[in-house]
Amino acid sequence: MVSFKVLIVDDDYINRKLLVSILKKELYKIEAIESIDGEDALKKLRKHPDIQLILLDIEMPNVNGLEFLERYHQDIRLKRVRTIAISSNDLHKKRAIEAGSHAFLVKPITEEKLMEAILG
């Protein structure tokens, strides 16, 4: 089993809790840090430099996932970690990958697909 410190970025409370639930079921040990938008996520990355994985919703108010990826990759102070973009719209896939996401998942998320994206 693998241990992760994960940043979950999604404006929807239920989606964040679903991801936490899947991760806790599938992985030996996780620490989940939750964020409501891209701006908050950047702050949490600065506060927690030991984050190992980012699960990132694309469609959010304020700073969306694509804007987050752009700002994240421009900030040389932030450590680069595996980022998995998540959206209900497959049309965001190309832009998310071009912006630096390592993988892309379409909602609804299944345990199997999430674990493949994390471990693969």
pLDDT digit string (tens) for 13-45?
999 999 999 998 877 689 999 999 999 999 999
Question: Within the chain, how many helices (H) and strands (E) appear?
Answer: 5, 5
pLDDT in tens, 37-50: 999 999 999 999 99
pLDDT at 29: 87
The angle subtended at Cα 93 by Cα 2 and Cα 23, nearest 5°, is 20
Number of domains composing the chain? 1
Task: State the CATH number of the domain containing residue 109.
Answer: 3.40.50.2300
pLDDT beyond 80 at 1: no
Q: Which residue range forms the structural domain that includes residue 73? A: 3-119
Distance of CA 7 to the CA centre of its chain: 6
Mean pLDDT over residues 71-99, rounded?
94
Mean pLDDT over residues 60-77, rounded?
95
